[in-house]
Amino acid sequence: MRKIFFKVVFLTATISLFCGCVARGGYIGPNKVYPYSMAPRIHHTGFSVARPKSPDWYLYVPEQEQARAVFRKDLRGRTYSFVAEASLRQIPRNPSSEEDFASLVKQDEIHDEERFQLVYYHQHLELRQGQWCLFYAGNLLDKKAPNSPDQPLVFIVHGFLCIHPAFDKTVLHAQYSERGLKREIDPSFSEEGEQSLKEVRLESGPGKTID
């Protein structure tokens, strides 16, 4: 396996895959890019994603990285958001078993208990593209969100982490999250979120899907 180091970098080559609007001197165009300006499939280091099918999604150019893709639903409101993202992450070591892998990448740890409260969490293992993957779902309360200081926000997150066979001690992490006041949460959006997870593919190189 190759070892990879990730940096927060912004490459014009990456943006050209999104919207085909790169000039020699750098990116020329709006920061918000909608699906009609995206390539059908967008390739990052180690994975690819399909552009959203619904026109009300967009990507914010400064958030995109070589090994990270972020899509946001274009919603009105100060407290409500819906986000889908995928990225490569390094883990401390290569797992020795499925159970060891699940222990290494479980997503139920709360780092800021003053702000977040875990209400529900479930995880299970299954194969995806021939690799061990941990699928998880969680519900939290965000009790001290800066954009809602007086009312807690419901925070729902679903995703998976898969071992990447092309890179040492590396996983592909994909998830979608919905955050908002209880009355703002829209169950119908979960179908779009699940579709976004299905469209993330492990790749050994651009266009080289791992079977």
Six-digit token string for 139: 């519900």
Tens-digit pLDDT profile for residues 129-175 = 999 999 999 999 999 999 999 999 999 999 999 999 999 999 999 99
- Residue 201 burial (CB < 10 Å; 0-12/13-18/19+)? buried
pLDDT of 116 > 60? The answer is yes
Q: What is the CA radius of gyration of the chain?
A: 18
Tens-digit pLDDT profile for residues 23-70 = 233 566 789 999 999 999 999 999 999 999 999 999 999 999 999 999
Percent pLDDT > 90 in the chain is 83
Beta pairing, strands 201-205 & 208-209: antiparallel
Cα distances from 209 to residues 12, 49, 86, 192, 202, in angstroms, run 23, 11, 16, 23, 6
Which pLDDT does position 26 carry in this prediction? Answer: 58
Domain ranges of the chain: 88-186
Six-digit token string for 33: 């890019």
Cα distances from 34 to residues 51, 57, 71, 156, in angstroms, run 9, 6, 10, 24
> Mean pLDDT score of the chain, rounded to an integer?
88
Q: Which residues pair with 38 in a beta bridge?
A: none
Six-digit token string for 52: 């959203």
